[in-house]
Structures are given as structure tokens and as C-alpha cells.
């Protein structure tokens, strides 16, 4: 909660698409109990291969569908009395009763499976999706390597993680960069839900020293990609989704792929550098507060611009009102 004594303002859970699992974690017939958006949920994959996300508790007597629930066709069967729910959340069978009560349903979440992840749409007001998860073509390109996975749980609101992309100064003090990366102006997509910012810096690699450009794309809060450019005939993609467990905890999932020409040359070094770098941030995130009205200097203009852009992904709440004042 917000703490006026420390100056901390509790941010709400943002609206948008968030990855709740890697696709490879869920085969047909699998049922998983999960917790995101400060709610108990159940994730399952029906026999046809489609993934579904429902509220976790049965409408009957409240048994958790993720604790002993079983897939039957493309529905999930409650472990307590056998009520079955399809991917829309509707009860489709009560095995000992012909008439199904009209209120026999649970909330179903919009789901998209893309880029080897399973995404669910969250909106605090229950509004339907109004933008889409982008497709990363590198994942299906035979000239790029099979994606490598990385994931971690972070005890912080997900916006604290997202702000890193617009905070070039911290690379020098947290990550030991010899100089502050030179960043470009932020550019935006037509619908305003997307922005891009690039930074350049010199890197020493086993292939030589290069002027490396990192092109960072962001869709909503918690969905982003980083593409590395600057080494001839070589490239790297990091695609990530950070999902809110609740207002103080997040689960981040990353996928890395590199062009095959650079895989054995410098690919491993860049993957290691990016995945280990976030561990240096965690100590800062874990022990900081969120200032809704921070004292900023002229070098923080990217951060200030990001915060203005990020407001569109929150529904009205006391915490958000405080942030905007």
C-alpha cells in the first residue's frame, strides 16, 4: 500500500497482454494452477491444442480447478463434483444433473499464443483487447538459432523493470559501463501503444570492437524486444514479457535467439551479459520505493517521457491519481 511516511506510492496492476507461461511448458491435457493479476487462475491446454485461462475457483462450491482438475476434450473438469467448464468459462456438463444453472460459469480470459509464449489480456475494467501481441519473425527463421529461455521472479512492481529501458544513466553505475550509452529520441506507433528507443555504445567482442546499437521496442508495460545491430552479418533478439503477480511482485520471461553466423562467435557472450545484467538490478528494485512525483534532472528526459506514455495503461485508481498529480 502507499506509505506517505516514506514517499512510496503503490502502483496498480496495468492493463495489457502478459505472458503467463512458455508454450513448451504446457502440452495437451496439462493443467496448471497459476497466480497473476492478484487472482487465482487455472491454465490448461485442451486436446485440440488450444490453451485456456480461467478464474481458478469452481462456481459450485469453490474448489480450485488447478488442484486436481482434469482436461476432458477441450474443457476442464472440477475435481470436487465433476462440473466441466469450456474455454469460454461456461459450464457444459454437470454429470449428475441435466439442467445447468444459468450462473454456472467462471471468468474466462482472452488468450493469445505467440512467440512461443501464452499471453492473457488483463484490464482492470474488464474491457476487451484493443491492441495485439506482435510477432517476432526471427523465431521462425531457419537462419536463427532455437530460442533460449530465461525467467525470474522479481519482488517489485513491473513498471520499475520497464523504466530501465529509458534510464541510460544507470548502466554506468549499476552495470559498470565505461560510458553512458548514447540514446536516440523515442518514436511511437500510430496507436500510441508502441514506442522505440535505441542506444549505441562501443563493445569489445571476440570478433573485434564494434559500435553496437541496441534497438529497444516496447508494447504496453512489460512486453518488449531488444535487437542488437552493428556486427556485420550478425544479429541478436531478446524478447520478453513481464507479468504482474500482484502489485509488488512480477514474473519475467525472456527468449533469446541469435543469427547462426554469430552463435558461436559472440552470441553466448551477449546472452550471458543480458541475463546476468538484470540480476544486478534486482538489489536496487527490491529495496527502492516508487516516487510518483520524483525530482528529475535534465538527463532524465527519457524516463519522464516514459512515465507520461505509461499512464495510458492504467485504469483510474487512488494510486494512479497520485501518480498523475
Neighbours of 288 (CB within 10 A): 11
Mapping DSSP to helix (H, G, I), strand (E, B) and coil, where does residue 239 land? Answer: strand
Q: Give 257-288 pLDDT, tens digit per residue.
A: 988 877 776 667 777 877 888 888 888 888 99
CA distance 56 to 66: 6
CA distance 274 to 214: 12
Task: Name the CATH topology of 137-313.
Answer: Naphthalene 1,2-dioxygenase Alpha Subunit; Chain A, domain 1 (3.90.380)
The counts of H helices and E strands in the chain are 5, 19
* Highest mean predicted confidence (pLDDT) among 121-135, 185-199, 263-277: 121-135
Question: Residue ranges of the domains in the chain?
Answer: 16-122, 137-313
User: What cell was used for 242?
Assistant: 513481464
Residue-wise DSSP of 121-185: EE-TT-PPP-S-PPP-GGGG-TTBPPPEEEEEEESS-HHHHHGGGG-TTHHHHTS--SSPPEEPP
CA distance 31 to 88: 16
The CATH number that domain 16-122 falls under is: 2.102.10.10
Residues 6 or more apart in contact with residue 297 via CB below 8 angstroms: none
Q: What is the chain's mean pLDDT, rounded? A: 89
User: What cell was used for 219?
Assistant: 508494447
CA-to-CA dists, residue 235 to 73, 198, 201, angstroms: 42, 15, 16
pLDDT at residue 318, as a whole number: 39
**Half-sphere exposure in the Cβ direction for 261 (13 Å, CA):** 7
Burial 15-35 (b: 16+ CB within 10 A, else e): bbbbbbbbeeebeeeebbebe
> Dihedral sign, CA of 225, 158, 267, 182?
positive
Do 207 and 196 meet the contact criterion of CB atoms below 8 Å apart?
no
E strand or H helix at 59, and its extent? none
Confidence label for 136 from pLDDT (cuts 50, 70 and 90): very high
Mean pLDDT of 58-75: 98
Beta bridge pairs of residue 228: 214, 236
CA distance 253 to 255: 7
pLDDT at residue 277, as a whole number: 81
Q: For the whole prediction, is pTM greater than 0.75? A: yes
Q: Give 12-62 pLDDT, tens digit per residue.
A: 999 999 999 999 999 999 999 999 999 999 999 999 999 999 999 999 999
CA distance 186 to 190: 13
Do 46 and 73 meet the contact criterion of CB atoms below 8 Å apart?
yes
Mapping DSSP to helix (H, G, I), strand (E, B) and coil, where does residue 79 land? Answer: coil
CA-to-CA dists, residue 184 to 58, 165, 196, 302, angstroms: 50, 12, 9, 10
SS3 content of the chain, % helix, strand, coil (to 5): 20, 35, 40
CA distance 46 to 48: 5
Strand residues in the chain grouped as ranges (E)? 16-22, 31-36, 39-45, 51-55, 70-72, 75-77, 84-85, 91-93, 108-109, 111-114, 117-122, 148-154, 182-183, 187-188, 194-205, 208-219, 223-229, 236-246, 249-258
Confidence label for 310 from pLDDT (cuts 50, 70 and 90): very high
Mapping DSSP to helix (H, G, I), strand (E, B) and coil, where does residue 311 land? Answer: helix
Identify the CA nearest to 205 among candidates 264, 147, 148. Answer: 264
Amino acid at each position: 500500500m502507499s506509505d506517505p511516511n516514506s514517499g512510496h506510492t503503490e502502483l496498480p496492476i496495468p492493463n495489457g497482454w502478459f505472458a503467463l507461461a512458455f508454450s513448451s511448458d504446457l502440452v495437451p491435457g496439462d493443467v496448471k494452477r497459476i497466480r497473476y493479476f492478484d487472482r487465482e487462475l487455472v491454465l490448461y491446454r485442451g486436446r485440440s491444442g488450444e490453451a485456456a485461462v480461467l478464474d481458478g475457483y469452481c462456481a459450485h462450491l469453490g474448489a480450485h480447478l488447478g488442484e486436481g482438475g482434469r482436461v476432458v476434450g477441450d474443457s476442464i473438469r472440477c475435481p470436487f463434483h465433476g462440473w466441466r467448464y469450456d474455454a469460454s468459462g461456461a459450464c457444459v456438463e454437470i454429470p449428475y444433473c441435466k439442467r445447468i444453472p444459468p450462473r454456472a460459469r467462471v471468468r474466462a480470459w482472452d488468450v493469445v499464443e505467440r512467440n512461443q509464449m501464452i499471453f492473457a489480456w488483463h484490464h482492470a475494467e474488464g474491457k476487451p483487447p484493443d491492441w495485439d501481441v506482435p510477432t517476432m519473425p526471427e523465431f521462425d527463421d531457419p537462419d536463427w538459432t532455437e530460442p533460449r529461455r530465461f525467467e525470474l521472479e522479481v519482488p517489485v512492481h513491473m513498471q520499475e523493470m520497464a523504466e530501465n529501458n529509458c534510464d541510460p544513466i544507470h548502466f554506468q553505475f549499476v552495470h559498470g559501463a565505461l560510458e553512458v550509452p548514447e540514446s536516440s529520441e523515442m518514436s511511437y506507433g500510430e496507436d500510441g501503444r508502441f514506442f522505440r528507443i535505441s542506444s549505441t555504445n562501443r563493445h569489445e567482442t571476440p570478433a573485434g570492437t564494434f559500435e553496437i546499437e541496441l534497438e529497444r521496442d516496447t508494447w504496453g508495460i512489460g512486453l518488449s524486444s531488444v535487437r542488437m545491430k552493428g556486427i556485420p552479418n550478425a544479429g541478436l533478439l531478446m524478447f520478453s514479457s513481464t507479468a504482474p503477480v500482484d502489485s509488488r511482485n512480477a514474473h519475467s520471461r525472456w527468449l533469446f535467439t541469435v543469427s547462426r553466423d554469430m552463435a558461436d562467435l559472440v552470441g553466448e557472450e551477449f546472452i550471458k551479459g543480458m541475463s546476468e545484467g538484470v540480476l544486478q538490478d534486482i538489489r536496487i528494485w527490491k529495496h527502492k520505493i516508487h516516487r510518483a512525483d520524483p525530482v528529475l534532472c535534465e538527463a532524465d528526459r527519457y524516463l519522464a517521457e516514459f512515465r507520461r506514455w505509461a499512464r495510458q495503461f492504467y485504469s483510474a485508481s487512488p494510486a494512479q491519481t497520485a501518480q498523475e498529480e
